[in-house]
Amino acid sequence: MASVTDPAAPAAAPATPPSGVGQIAADAQSPEMTDGFHLVIDALKLNGIDTIFGLPGIPITDLTRKAQAAGLRVISFRHEQNAGYAASIAGFMTQKPGICLTVSAPGFLNGLTALANATTNCFPMILISGSSEREVVDLQQGDYEEMDQLAIAKPLCKAAFRVLHAEDIGVGIARAIRAAVSGRPGGVYLDLPAKLFPQAVEAEAGRKSLIKVVDPAPRQIPAQDAVQRALELLKGAKRPLILLGKGAAYAQADADIRALVERTGIPYLPMSMAKGLLPDTHEQSAAAARSYVLPAADVVMLIGARLNWLLSHGKGKTWGGKGSKDWGGQKFIQVDISPQEADSNVRIDAPVVGDIGSCVSALLAGIGPGWAKPPADWLGAIAERRNKNVAKMAETLARNPSPMNFHSALNVVRDIVKANPDAMLVNEGANALDFTRSIVDMYKPRKRLDVGTWGVMGIGMGFSVAAAVVSGQPVIAIEGDSAFGFSGMEVETICRYNLPVCVVILNNNGVYRGDEVNPTGGRDPSPLVFVKGARYEMLMEAFGGVGVKATTPAELRRAMEDAIASRRPTLVNAVIDEGAGTESGRITALNPSAKKK
């Protein structure tokens, strides 16, 4: 059971006044009092937190009511994992920690996946979880939802704190905020035992105990010699390349990053969530020549991107190395806020440690007006590859097979995103992810939200809810049918809050594809297939949204245009060829036994 509704709770919200500290009525004799519930809310509000994503139940039911009564937006989900993903991506979008609120033990564990994912992706998030009675937990006497949550959370997040006394709530929230957003952002766990909430404190003392965090994410100015070293290396390059990662998108230094790329004239490659930092149609984008530029570049400047698996650890064949672990000979500049990131996979010749805004502005200052553009033969070779790939893609997209396939469906999405560049795009799946990434151009920063560093499935509806709530823009969620299943019940949440989310399920009846059979001839289907002809659109209709089954690009286009225009919750079941799709999409080779198709 994920969570339990408080059986003792009153049916309707109490008439709590929406003012700050001191909401507990004081009689004539006693001083004005407050309590743990209100101090948590006041501490969050004091620090500019305006939204909580969560799921009520013991012991935080009343906290959600009181938070709403106090003017916070409380978005209540059907499963904590989705609330957690929502909080984490709100953190990415806003640079403020996204707050996820869960009940104890199972609810906490459900939220923990999202917390770990936030930490892995460098998204600032605070998982606030209620917990059971400390004395009983510590003696393992079998409390309701007993669990030593703090100990379990610790290895999976950047920092973990517990508050036992109402007087310490201010410090606890301040520490959690600083830990989440300063330096390399990440997930923070805040453990609030049930007994904390009703603790009464004099209102004045409570007010004084709260902390408004000053400068929660201080700028980190790079050392001048580090900047010079990087510029020297870049200046000497014959085939330079800039690699933009989601750290660059997070930093909100959009104008300077664009100026750096344009003033140096260096081709750039966006990682998937950095797409749109510069428009994907930018002439310096080398995205369509990826497999050419990585091995051919001689100096690569990483800005907010790690040389992890997504970049083949900076070595091996992807980078022109002879064997799978051989260095390709590139020199690397790495701009990153974490001083420990450099050399984690290959030698970094010029680490520039600092926040991206400060680093990029220092690099720009060092470049000055007379910077020579990269050699024409390098730019020409990239343009040739890019044009060839773009032409090949255009040819594929122009086809109109029946049934639809990923390309003909995504050609529609590509047009819709082009016509609505402010819309948010959420994307998960295997083939649905990979094809969308290369087919659908992005035009503005932080519009593309996807599976990130772990390639995690399940972010879809949580990210969509947060994207709509935070941005107010229409959200388009491109989902594999398998990926959608992880968070599909949140279509009720989307309908309940009447969010402008258009979910498009690229439905090929299974994981990767839908045509596998049980080799034994037995009754059970293959582990990789789902019910054939599933009517996902009816799920949205069940909660009052719009459901559409689309079997042609024209039907898909009409449904998406209507959804964007009406802003009504919509789910389009885009039926595609069940034979379309390869195992794990572009990362087939990571399957230990699958043969590369």
Asked if 451 is part of the footprint of ligand FYN (rule: CB under 6 A), the reply reads yes
Nearer to ligand ADP, 80 or 355 (CB): 355
DSSP annotation string for 335-384: EES-TT-TTSSS--SEEEES-HHHHHHHHHHHH-TTPPPPPHHHHHHHHH
Asked if 287 is part of the footprint of ligand FYN (rule: CB under 6 A), the reply reads yes
Phi, psi at residue 382, to the nearest 5°?
A: -65, -45
How many residues would you count in the chain? 597
Nearer to ligand ADP, 62 or 336 (CB): 336
- Select from 165, 195, 235, 290 the one that contacts ligand FYN (CB under 6 A): 290
- Select from 224-232, 337-345, 474-482, 565-573 the region that touches ligand ADP (CB under 6 A): 337-345
- Select from 455, 525, 526, 555 the one that contacts ligand FYN (CB under 6 A): 455
- Select from 131-139, 246-254, 492-500, 544-552 the region that touches ligand ADP (CB under 6 A): 246-254
d(CA 274, CA 547): 31
DSSP annotation string for 396-447: HHH---SSB-HHHHHHHHHHHHHH-TTSEEEEESSHHHHHHHHHS---STT-
Q: Which of 83, 93, 163, 96 is nearest to 125 (CA)?
A: 96
d(CA 171, CA 163): 9
- Cβ at position 100, least distance to ligand FYN in Å: 23
- Helices and strands, counts by H and E, the chain: 21, 19
With CB under 5 to 8 Å by kind, the binding choice for 586 among ligand ADP, ligand FYN, none is: ligand FYN
d(CA 553, CA 95): 37
With CB under 5 to 8 Å by kind, the binding choice for 336 among ligand ADP, ligand FYN, none is: ligand ADP
DSSP annotation string for 460-517: HHHHHHHHHHHH-S-EEEEEEHHHHHTTGGGHHHHHHTT--EEEEEEE-SBSS-S---
- Select from 55-63, 289-297, 486-494, 553-561 the region that touches ligand FYN (CB under 6 A): 289-297
- Select from 152-160, 267-275, 435-443, 508-516 the region that touches ligand ADP (CB under 6 A): 267-275
With CB under 5 to 8 Å by kind, the binding choice for 438 among ligand FYN, ligand ADP, none is: ligand FYN
- Cβ at position 219, least distance to ligand ADP in Å: 9
Give yes or no for a contact between 285 and 315, defined as CB atoms under 8 angstroms apart: no
Asked if 122 is part of the footprint of ligand ADP (rule: CB under 6 A), the reply reads yes
- Select from 54-62, 336-344, 491-499, 582-590 the region that touches ligand ADP (CB under 6 A): 336-344
- Select from 24, 164, 171, 310 the one that contacts ligand FYN (CB under 6 A): 310
Nearer to ligand ADP, 211 or 353 (CB): 353
For 27, 65, 67, 106, 422, the CA distances from 14, given in Å and listed in that order, are: 19, 8, 12, 27, 39
Give me the residue whose beta carbon is nearest to ligand FYN. 455
d(CA 99, CA 525): 40
- Site size with ligand FYN, rule: CB under 6 A: 21
Directed axis angle between helix 36-46 and helix 169-181, to 10°?
40
Asked if 263 is part of the footprint of ligand ADP (rule: CB under 6 A), the reply reads no
The residue type found at 278 is: L
User: Which strand (E) or helix (H) includes residue 268?
Assistant: strand 268-270
- Select from 87-95, 232-240, 427-435, 527-535 the region that touches ligand FYN (CB under 6 A): 427-435
Asked if 479 is part of the footprint of ligand ADP (rule: CB under 6 A), the reply reads no
Contacting residues toward ligand FYN, per CB under 6 A: 272, 287-291, 310, 389-390, 393, 430, 433-434, 437-438, 451, 455, 584-587
Q: Tell me which residues touch ligand ADP (CB under 6 A).
A: 121-122, 184-185, 245-247, 250-251, 271, 273-274, 304-306, 308, 310, 336-338, 341, 355-356, 453
